[in-house]
């Protein structure tokens, strides 16, 4: 088999996701080798969208697990439906069903609530499993995830071991708020997503906002590219670029060297903290606009 990433790159572009060579290669390998892919990068470089786009390309389900601090097995694998179980116990009690039979009954798959991980391994067609912001979950969860990612089977004490019907395409994303364990890194293929360069970002803007004026799109992208070089607390991501471009189109701005007041006000789309807004006063905006236009 030839390991070509160009076809996947084209398919991704077809669903509106512009991937550079390394990302396309990483995804091809992840799919080809059935290995989890760990994506790292700043917030706003489009890590989450990779999962969505891949699901579209493969025409399969996207199962997303958003991680947060304190996430545990109950919230990620399965939970028993307690309300139904209680009702069932009462109902069967009246039928004078022996207790061991009730037990067997209420711990059957009917009463099982599937959470993302169990859901992902019980699909016949391999879904895309997006484990988002794994760095937000605790280390304990990471260790436990590792076990699932290596065996793709889950043990429910009351039911026994459930093996995967198919191996899901796993994508993990991390913003780097915590150092991930080496074990997890070694399980996964790795790719680092950087802020897109000018050409790529322009392609993204055109892919997402097909109607946008060519010149305005170029100006927007150049402006954001230069803005990222300023000392900002939170650099604007791709989503911010798109928001801003949309806002400018909505405000009927033809060129960003037009009305400075409008432009300055619209920067709220790009700069999301007070400190950053203060760090880019009108003079700075004017300087960057001067370079762009």
8 A C-beta contact, residue 169 and residue 16: no
8 A C-beta contact, residue 70 and residue 141: no
Nearest to 280, CA basis, from 244, 239, 253, 242: 244
Nearest to 116, CA basis, from 133, 129, 134, 132: 129
Q: Compute the least distance from the CB of residue 266 to another protein, in Å.
A: 26
Stretch of 19-27, 55-63, 207-215, 244-252 contacting another protein, by CB under 8 A: 19-27
Site string for another protein, 24-63 (x = CB under 8 A): -xx--xx-xx---xx-x-----------------------
Q: Compute the least distance from the CB of residue 207 to another protein, in Å.
A: 22
Residues 21, 110, 151, 198: which binds another protein (CB under 8 A)? 21
8 A C-beta contact, residue 270 and residue 239: no
Under rule CB under 8 A, residue 7 binds another protein: no
Stretch of 50-58, 78-86, 121-129, 146-154 contacting another protein, by CB under 8 A: 78-86
Cβ-based neighbour number of residue 131 at 10 Å = 25
CA distance 30 to 57: 14
Residues 7, 14, 103, 151: which binds another protein (CB under 8 A)? 103
Under rule CB under 8 A, residue 192 binds another protein: yes
Nearest to 159, CA basis, from 79, 91, 43: 79
Written as six digits, the tokens of 179 are 């150092």
Under rule CB under 8 A, residue 143 binds another protein: no
CA distance 62 to 56: 8
180-203: burial string, b at 16+ Cβ within 10 Å, e else: beeebeebbbebebebbeeebbbe
* Helix or strand holding residue 154 (H, E): strand 153-156
Stretch of 115-123, 186-194, 209-217, 250-258 contacting another protein, by CB under 8 A: 186-194
Give phi and psi for 239, each to the nearest 5. Answer: -60, -40
Closer of 21 and 259 to another protein (Cβ): 21
Stretch of 84-92, 124-132, 221-229, 254-262 contacting another protein, by CB under 8 A: 84-92
Nearest to 56, CA basis, from 13, 109, 15, 104: 15
Under rule CB under 8 A, residue 1 binds another protein: yes
Q: Compute the least distance from the CB of residue 154 to another protein, in Å.
A: 16
Closer of 150 and 259 to another protein (Cβ): 150
Nearest to 220, CA basis, from 192, 193, 249: 249
Closer of 273 and 286 to another protein (Cβ): 273
Stretch of 23-31, 113-121, 160-168, 196-204 contacting another protein, by CB under 8 A: 23-31
Closer of 13 and 249 to another protein (Cβ): 13
8 A C-beta contact, residue 204 and residue 163: no
Under rule CB under 8 A, residue 186 binds another protein: yes
Residues 143, 159, 179, 251: which binds another protein (CB under 8 A)? 179
Residues that bind another protein (CB under 8 A): 1-5, 21-22, 25-26, 29-30, 32-33, 37-38, 40, 70, 74, 79-80, 82, 85-86, 89-90, 93, 99, 102-103, 106, 176-179, 182, 185-186, 188-192
């Amino acid at each position: 088999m030839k390991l070509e990433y160009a076809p996947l790159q084209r398919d991704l572009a077809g669903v509106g996701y512009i991937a550079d060579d390394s990302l396309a290669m990483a995804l091809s390998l992840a799919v080809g080798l059935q290995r989890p892919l760990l994506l790292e990068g700043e917030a706003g470089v489009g890590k989450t969208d990779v999962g969505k786009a891949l699901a579209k390309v493969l025409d399969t389900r996207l199962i997303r697990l958003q991680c947060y601090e304190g996430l545990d097995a109950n919230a990620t694998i399965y939970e028993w439906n307690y309300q139904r179980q209680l009702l069932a116990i009462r109902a069967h009690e009246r039928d004078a069903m022996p207790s061991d039979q009730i037990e067997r009954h209420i711990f059957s798959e009917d009463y099982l609530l599937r959470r993302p991980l169990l859901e992902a391994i019980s699909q016949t067609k391999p879904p895309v499993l997006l484990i988002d912001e794994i760095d937000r979950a605790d280390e304990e969860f990471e260790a436990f995830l590792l076990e699932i990612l290596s065996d793709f089977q889950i043990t429910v004490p009351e039911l026994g071991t459930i093996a995967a019907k198919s191996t899901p395409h796993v994508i993990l994303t991390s913003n780097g708020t915590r150092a991930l364990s080496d074990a997890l890194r070694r399980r996964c293929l790795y790719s680092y997503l950087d802020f897109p360069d000018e050409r790529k970002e322009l392609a993204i803007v055109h892919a997402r906002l097909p109607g946008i004026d060519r010149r305005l799109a170029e100006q927007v992208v150049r402006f954001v590219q230069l803005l990222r070089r300023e000392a900002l607390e939170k650099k604007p991501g791709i989503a911010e670029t798109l928001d801003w471009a949309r806002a400018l189109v909505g405000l009927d701005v033809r060129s960003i060297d037009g009305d400075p007041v409008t432009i300055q006000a619209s920067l709220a789309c790009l700069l999301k903290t007070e400190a950053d807004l203060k760090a880019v006063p009108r003079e700075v905006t004017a300087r960057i606009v001067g370079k762009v236009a």
